[in-house]
Structure 1
Amino acid sequence: MKQVILAAGALLAASAALAQTVTETEIRSAVGAIDTQAIITNAEQTRNWLNYGLDYAETRYSRLDGIDTENVGELGLAWSYDLQSRRGVQATPIVVDGVMYVTASWSVVHALDAVTGTPLWTYDPEVPAEFAARGCCDVVNRGVAVYQGKVFVGAYDGHLDALDAATGERLWRVDTIENREMAYTVTGAPRVIDGKVIIGNGGAEFGVRGYVSAYDVETGEMAWRWYTVPGDPSKPFENEAMARAAETWDPSAEYWKAGGGGTVWDAMAYDPELNLLYIGTGNGSPWNQHLRSPAGGDNLFLASIVALDPDTGDYVWHYQNTPGDTWDYTSTQHIILADLEIGGELRQVLMQAPKNGFFYVIDRATGEFISAEPFVEVTWATGFNEDGRPIEADGARSRTEPWETIPSAYGAHNWHPMSFNPETGLVYIPAQGVPLVQSKDPAWELNSHKPMSTMSGVGWNLGYLFNEVAPEATPFGHLLAWDPVAQREVWRADYISPWNGGTLTTAGGLVFQGTADGRFIAYDAATGELLWQTEVTSGVVAAPATWERDGVQYVTVAVGWGGVYGLMQRATDRVGPGRVFTFRVGGDAPRPTVELSDRTELVAGVPYDPNHVSEGLGLYVANCLFCHGVPAVNNGGAIPNLGFSSPEVLKSASAWVLDGVAVDRGMPAFAENLTQEDVDKLVAFIQGTADAVREQ
């Protein structure tokens, strides 16, 4: 797969050499001028898109108004570009004076002429394909950072690479993973503050200890590292914050052996005046708190917003959204900074709509809780006490019988970025509901492969089983316009599926969002009226960006279906490769050809022993479920549903499962845990399930 990308990138670059309109000298001048002050200054006019969330406040609010409610209907395609990617594309492009940097799956970086889409260079960090199985949620990447002539990308295998912005040449590389016996990954976009590149890691589903690190932009030398959860209490704690956190964990289960979790895999924001860096932390390892910390406790700093000194990494304050998290209610969702008038007083706040379903407004100087209200249905908590602590509903935590908690572990809002428009005063949230029933996994043991233990065959450590009984809730996805002062919904746009893309809002009175069913839409930011839409070549999960060049405003969105939900399901039969689409008023570029799924028939005719079906279920749950989904329920997402595979695939299952013929595409070999007899049982479960569905 990597060789295909490299070859395609080289061919594109060679064929476009004569058409190149941005020179290396111009790139060095433009990107070389980007520093902390340039990012701050750009926020005043936002002609460029210099930071993952546009500005350090991560508002995703553009002051450009060349495209507005009156002329948005005249938008047309300026150009499209094939990212040579078949997995999830989650990146927001960075644009600097007509040069665009965007990442595809596998952390591959593409540099383009932003006006024409002409490729300038491609950089492949050459992530080993077998590393795909060491992450929970697809081989995705949310984008790059630019600073002083360099492009920084966090690669899926945990390396942080610094590239020459003009040529793509790698200048330095550091390994951000401190313990490679654990399944760490990097999927988030770096941020750069005062000469330090800041990046976190993922991996809490497998069992890792979370931390965030800062590296020198020139050398790659680590400047500081702050851990989110305490380590082995028999050893000295790194700082007072970790000593304090340890008092909130039960050491009887030796939580540090599973790492504890708390990974910083996405959300960050920065306030230059307060000189505070805000990070969101993730779930526990394992998810089930009864197994992780049997006596309970808040388990600091899981599922929290933490303010750090960006110069030193020192702890300043925290607010814990979900004390003692046991539901995978990460707080790694988008953080936005704003100044809001609340109760007649102008407050410096941060806003977050994390997985747990509440919209939070927090004082960003002190960490003081201001307000929180549910933005979707919530059943795990009934409200908050005067100290800002959630009041848990009776029976919200794990018990002996399966239970359905709302929101589920997919979250009321996941990583897909929201945006804030100061003109309307509204936050635009990609809200969702994905039903899920949880139950305790009685067989769970750390790092132990056991049938029916969810994804234990590839190293997951959850302590839960899922959907032993059918959920009662109905899936949904909608764009929600939320008033953060009044804490209420103002308008919404409903979709046919969860897992819709991130949002962008502009001074032109618009909100842009891509959808799971393969549309790119513009709404009136004040009323929610749909003003314009166009079809794209697959479902969209990434957030758009907008920028200006030579007085013309453009809107760009990276398209490519995937992510933890998108691996298993989709809402459109369009399955085209990852692409970048750029639009402008009057654009008339030809549309790329639409590619439709050929997974239309349930698999049939593969012989199997019916007595093997039930045992095959346990093996499937332990090794296949969260990639391939439930067989025959739907025809799959970015990864095929095996109930819709060809008979030849199932007949040659041992080559796929034991021999690893698809290792170069990210599917691991399972010969260490599974036998030929196990493969026969897996085939029985898949074909047996397809036959049962066909009869219904």
Structure 2
Amino acid sequence: MKRCHVKYFALTALVTAMTFSLQAQAVTDEDLLNDHMTTDRVVTDGMGMQKQRFSPLTRLNADNIEDLRPVWTLSFGGEKQRGQESQPVVVDGVMYVSASYSRVFAVDARTGDELWEYNARLPDGIMPCCDVINRGVAVYDNLVIFGTLDARLVALDKDTGRVVWRKTVADYQEGYSITAAPLVVNGKVITGVAGGEFGVIGKVEAYDAMTGNLVWTRPTLEGHMGYIWKDGEKVEMGISGGEAGQTWPGDLWKTGGAATWLGGTYDPDTNLLFFGAGNPAPWNSHMRPGDNLYSSSRLALNPDTGEIVWSFQTTPNDGWDYDGVNEVIPFEYEDNGQLIKAVATADRNGFFYVLNREDGKFIRGFPFVDKITWASGLDENGRPVYVPENRPGNPAETGESQGKTVTTAPAFLGGKNWMPMAYSQETGLFYIPSNEWEMDIWNEDVSYRKGAAYLGAGFTIRPINEDYIGVLRAVDPRTGEEVWRYNNYAPLWGGVMTTKSNLVFTGNPEGYLMAFDALSGEMLYRFNTGSGIVGTPITWEMDDEQYVSIVSGWGGAVPLWGGEVAQRVSHFNQGGMVFTFKLPKAYE
């Protein structure tokens, strides 16, 4: 039987929580929409609904960053010290941060004192693809909302940690889970699901934030029906992308994957949600000839109904597990005096795409990694120009247990994986955490079985270069130019943040929080946290001082799936800590 657990750690902590509850204001829709301009709170994953991860703060800059110093740390405790991929949020002096194994902590942001902990107490038999991670929480009204590895949404009272509502989103025994931070738009909690390696049906769903009641559901695979609830009645919204089987053979669309495991962004200017849909299932592309909509795609949805407004597929008939979930970030730029409303996304397949965010039309695309072998480029519509000999072979043609092995770059873990990039409104550049690796990949026969891995492929991953795998890149989305780069020995697996004062923050598996000059790429600061960083930094101001926080704790997909790469970093220590720094007033 599943249980949950809320624990207070000291009477003084409880008193502190009560004190803050008297001061804290409920988080409103307006607060969420204005988060990108707010400096004393961070109330969204992404530091704004559009997830540019850009802070307007300037106190901390290149001249004084050497005086940034740690002021407190918090351990997540116990034996659950691995895969800490979350981004904290901060509401009126209280930090809310999720941790591995579906836990949430409330912390006094001034002192690091733990106020409460919620532990979802997961059942036996969960099947997360890529470690026991959780990437963050949403806050709304007086609630802290997050997803669990057994595919539930849980809403907690932000002052006590007590459960307000709990909803099952999907059946974990079929391979579903939730790892991304939910998104709250107009009082609705928007979530996707993980589980693409198990032949699940990807979907995006909206729940009433105050009650947990389902508002609408939209499958992200062609042929599946969406629904909206009106006055308690279930109303058909129509099927996704036309009749079943148009771009899928036979019944494979029924177990086709396209999981929406990274969550979404929201653009109030167009009133659109942007979600990515992941890899098709199985990986063996010869079993499913066709484009396999909407796998490996970016989708724009109406947040009120779930209707798919437009779609753009980055890897049709994906045969390399390049997925399509990487974040879609709205931004604007001028072209010949015209303001272009665009979105940008850096795909696992190695290409960077700029699209019109109103209709999804392709504007431009270019490689952002050094080596791409599966495609020779993109055509005028952004469709990849495949290199046929670099698609893994069909075992049915050879009569053997596996098809021809090919060497492909990037590896399936991607030119960029889940780790979020940042966009600077000051420099006009995107800062992309990326990796240079390749793989040997081959196809195998496979049949769907509920709750079992549904791959039909084997692989090995190895570094392309001896002295580095990770590359932090500054890229101009208007030209494709790489303005600067920082090479890192281990793969980069954590997110990026930038500031108006032209600082770029990220962490690496070696354990360092690092800060760079946003224009030149010069490293200005680093601090060793003692375990690999695979989380995403934030910054805010409190008591007239600027703070920076990052979660440290090595884990995630690389140690589990990384082959030779995993061996290279096998000596890195696991961990589970929040590190918080500040620039004291005297050093501004």
TM norm structure 2? 0.90
Give the equivalent residue in structure 1 for 2:164.
Answer: 171
Cα distance in 1 for residues equivalent to 2:574 and 2:206: 37
The 1-side partners of 2:181 and 2:414 are apart by 21
Q: CA deviation at 1:23?
A: 3.8
Q: Give the corresponding residue for 1:150.
A: 143
Are 1:303 and 2:303 matched, yes or no? no
**Amino acid across the alignment from 2:580:** T
**Which amino acid letter does the alignment assign opposite residue 352 of structure 1?**
T
Q: Which amino acid aligns with 2:447?
A: E
For 1:324-403, list aligned pairs within 5 A. Answer: 324-376=317-369, 377-399=371-393, 400-403=403-406
C-alpha change, 1:170 and 1:471, in structure 2 (3 Å) is closer
1:241-640 mapped onto 2 (5 Å cutoff):
241-243=240-242, 246-251=245-250, 254-257=251-254, 259-291=255-287, 293=288, 296-376=289-369, 377-399=371-393, 400-442=403-445, 444-447=446-449, 459-467=452-460, 476-567=469-560, 569=566, 571=569, 573-586=571-584
28 and 275 in structure 1: CA distance in 2 versus 1, 3 angstrom threshold: farther
CA distance in 1, matches of 2:9, 2:174: 40
Provide the C-alpha distance between the structure 2 equivalents of 1:229 and 1:59, rounded to a whole number of angstroms: 28
Per-residue Cα deviation, 1:499-537 (whole angstroms, up to 9, x for no partner) = 332111011210011101111111111100011111111
Residue type at the aligned position of 2:157: D
User: Quick one: which amino acid aligns to residue 246 of structure 2?
Assistant: E
Contact 1:28 1:149 in 2 (8 A): no
Q: Report the CA distance between 1:237 and its aligned residue.
A: 9.1
The amino acid across from 1:243 in the alignment is G
Q: 1:205 aligns with which of 175, 185, 197?
A: 197
Q: Is the 8 A contact 1:352 1:361 kept in 2?
A: yes
2:20·2:94 contact (CA, 8 Å) conserved in 1?
no
Residue 685 of structure 1 corresponds to which residue in structure 2? none
Contact persistence 2:182–2:189 (CA under 8 A) = yes
The range that moved more, 278-287 or 240-249, is: 240-249
Asked if the contact 2:463/2:469 (under 8 Å) is kept, the reply is no
1: CA distance, partners of 2:335 / 2:174: 45
Does the 8 Å contact 1:229/1:260 carry over to 2? yes
CA distance in 2, matches of 1:586, 1:28: 27
Deviation per CA, 1:460-484: give whole Å up to 9, x if none.
Answer: 11111223x9887766111111111
Q: CA deviation at 1:139?
A: 0.7
C-alpha change, 1:432 and 1:353, in structure 2 (3 Å) is same
Code of the residue aligned with 2:33 in structure 1: it is I
Structure 1 counterpart of 2:231: none
Q: Name the residue aligned to 1:675.
A: none
How far off its partner does 1:128 sit? Answer: 1.7
CA positional deviation for 1:27: 3.0
Please state how far the C-alpha of 1:586 moved relative to its aligned partner.
4.6
TM-score (norm 1): 0.76
Opposite residue 544 of structure 1, the aligned amino acid is P
- Report the Cα distance in structure 2 between the residues aligned to 1:415 and 1:303, rounded to whole angstroms: 14
Which position in structure 2 is the counterpart of 1:96?
A: 91
Query: What is the rounded CA distance, in whole Å, between the counterparts of 1:362 and 1:27 in structure 2?
Result: 43
Give structure 2 stretches of 5+ with no counterpart. Answer: 226-234, 394-402
User: Shift of the alpha carbon at 1:348?
Assistant: 0.7
Q: CA deviation at 1:394?
A: 3.1
Whether the 8 Å CA contact 1:262–1:281 is kept in 2: the answer is yes
Distance in structure 1 (CA, Å) of the matches to 2:213 and 2:224? 26
State the alpha-carbon separation in 2 of the partners of residues 396 and 537 from structure 1. 40
**Equivalent pair of 2:490/2:509 in contact (CA under 8 Å):** yes
Describe the shift of the 1:237–1:476 C-alpha distance in structure 2 as closer, same or farther (beyond 3 A).
farther
The CA deviation at 1:333 is: 1.1
Structure 2: how far apart are the matches of 1:121 and 1:195?
Answer: 25
Contact 2:13–2:114 (CA under 8 A) maintained in structure 1: no
1:220 to 200, 212, 217: 212
2:134 & 2:295 partners in 1: Cα distance?
Answer: 23
Higher strand share: 2
Aligned twin of 1:663? none
Q: Deviations over 1:116-156 (max 9, x none)?
A: 1111110011112431xx11100100000000110001011
- Runs of 5+ unmatched residues, structure 1: 449-457, 589-696
Which whole-Å deviations, capped at 9, do the CAs of 1:408-454 have from their partners, x for residues lacking one?
11100000111000111111111102332101114x33339xxxxxx
Identity of aligned residues (%): 39
Q: Is the 8 A contact 1:245 1:301 kept in 2?
A: no
In 2, Cα distance between equivalents of 1:210 and 1:540? 29
Q: 1:183 to 1:427 in 2, by over 3 A?
A: same
Cα 1:40–1:500, aligned 2, differ >3 Å: closer, same or farther? same
Whole-angstrom CA distance in 1 between matches of 2:335 and 2:15 = 49
Structure 2 counterpart SS, 1:43: helix
Residue 217 and residue 19 in structure 1: after superposition, are their counterparts in 2 closer, same or farther (change >3 A)? Answer: closer
1:66 equivalent in alignment to 2:64: no
Q: In structure 2, do the counterparts of structure 1 residues 69 and 167 end up closer, same or farther at CA, with 3 Å as the change threshold?
A: same
1:157–1:185 contact (8 Å) kept in structure 2: yes
Deviations 1:570-628 (A, max 9, x none): 6374525300000112599xxxxxxxxxxxxxxxxxxxxxxxxxxxxxxxxxxxxxxxx
> Could you say which structure has the larger radius of gyration?
1
Q: 2:75 aligns with which of 67, 78, 82?
A: 82
**In structure 2, how many angstroms separate the alpha carbons of the residues matched to 1:240 and 1:286?**
22
| AA of the residue aligned to 1:577 | G
Q: Deviations over 1:661-687 (max 9, x none)?
A: xxxxxxxxxxxxxxxxxxxxxxxxxxx
Over the aligned positions, Cα root-mean-square deviation in angstroms equals 2.4
User: CA separation in 2, counterparts of 1:148 and 1:508?
Assistant: 32
SS of the counterpart of 2:167?
strand
Q: How much has 1:401 moved relative to structure 2?
A: 1.8
Shift of 1:37: 1.1
Distance (whole Å) between structure 2 residues aligned to residue 381 and residue 435 of structure 1: 14
Match of 2:397 in 1: none
Give the total of aligned pairs.
558
Q: Supply the distance in 2 between the matched residues of 1:273 and 1:122 (Cα, whole angstroms).
A: 37
